[in-house]
């Protein structure tokens, strides 16, 4: 995972995203800084700085059409080679998501096949995972749980000695809950000093709610 992306994930709930190198285009689209490995002619790897843009619904439709067309050009069967078709579709979406680092954030490669031929496949797989995380983070539902609601979930987990209460929470709110509790754990006086940073060293009593005040 790239340093820029790690920094964005770590502070996403604490910091203005624009302070993390995340840029907004004139159209209101967000662009997340990242890097990708590219194979050079001598066999060595070169790090390429890019931006990631979350694909919209129409881009998903276009990606499916282009991947099917590409499969036909390769003379492969849609049913027998369905796994490869799905892989091609991911590359098409990733090709759309990859943007030049500077405005106007032009698409970095023209299509999925160009991406597949030009970049290290392991690096592309990791980039695709990060794109999925960014897509969730950009969803308006991300972060809807209040502090009181999260503390109640924590009490249920502690009382039952099991993380099963998290299974009752939607995926977006699960991420919110886990991130919040992780930050609160680092504020605990029993947390090791090396695990604390200026942004997590405030007393836990500063939160809007505490387990003792909920029912």
The radius of gyration computed from the CA coordinates of the chain, to the nearest angstrom, equals 21
Instruction: Give the number of domains in the chain.
Output: 2
Residues 107 and 125 in one domain: yes
* Half-sphere exposure in the Cβ direction for 14 (13 Å, CA): 15
Residues 99 and 155 in one domain: no
Q: Evaluate if pTM is beyond 0.75.
A: no
Q: Is a pLDDT exceeding 80 seen at residue 95? A: yes
> Which tens digit of pLDDT belongs to each residue from 128-185?
988 888 887 776 555 566 777 778 888 888 888 888 887 777 665 676 777 777 777 7
**Which 3 state secondary structure label does DSSP give 35?**
strand
Q: Is a pLDDT exceeding 80 seen at residue 203? A: no
Range in 28-32, 90-94, 150-154 the model is least confident about: 150-154
Domain that holds residue 96: 3-138
Given 120, 138, 156, which residue is the final one in a domain?
138
> Which tens digit of pLDDT belongs to each residue from 169-193?
766 567 677 777 777 777 777 777 7
Residues 53 and 127 in one domain: yes
Given 121, 138, 155, which residue is the final one in a domain?
138
Given 138, 166, 193, which residue is the final one in a domain?
138
Residues 12 and 48 in one domain: yes
> In angstroms, rounded to a whole number, what is the distance separating the alpha carbons of residues 46 and 69?
31
């Amino acid at each position: 995972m790239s340093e820029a992306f790690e920094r964005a994930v770590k502070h996403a709930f604490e910091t203005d995203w624009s302070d993390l190198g995340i840029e907004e285009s004139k159209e209101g689209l967000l662009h997340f800084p990242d890097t990708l490995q590219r194979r050079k002619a001598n066999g060595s790897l070169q790090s390429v700085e890019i931006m990631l843009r979350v694909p919209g619904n129409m881009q998903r439709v276009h990606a499916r059409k282009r991947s099917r067309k590409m499969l036909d050009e390769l003379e492969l069967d849609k049913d027998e080679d369905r796994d490869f078709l799905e892989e091609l579709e991911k590359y098409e979406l990733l090709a759309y998501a990859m943007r030049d680092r500077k405005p106007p954030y032009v698409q970095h490669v023209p299509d999925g096949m160009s991406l597949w031929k030009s970049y290290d496949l392991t690096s592309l797989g990791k980039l695709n995972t990060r794109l999925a995380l960014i897509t969730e983070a950009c969803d308006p539902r991300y972060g809807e749980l209040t502090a009181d609601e999260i503390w109640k979930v924590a009490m249920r987990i502690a009382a039952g000695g099991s993380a099963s209460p998290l299974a009752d929470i939607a995926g977006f709110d699960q991420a919110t809950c886990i991130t919040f509790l992780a930050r609160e754990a680092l504020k605990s006086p029993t947390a090791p000093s090396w695990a604390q940073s200026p942004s997590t060293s405030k007393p836990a009593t500063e939160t809007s709610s505490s387990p003792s005040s909920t029912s």
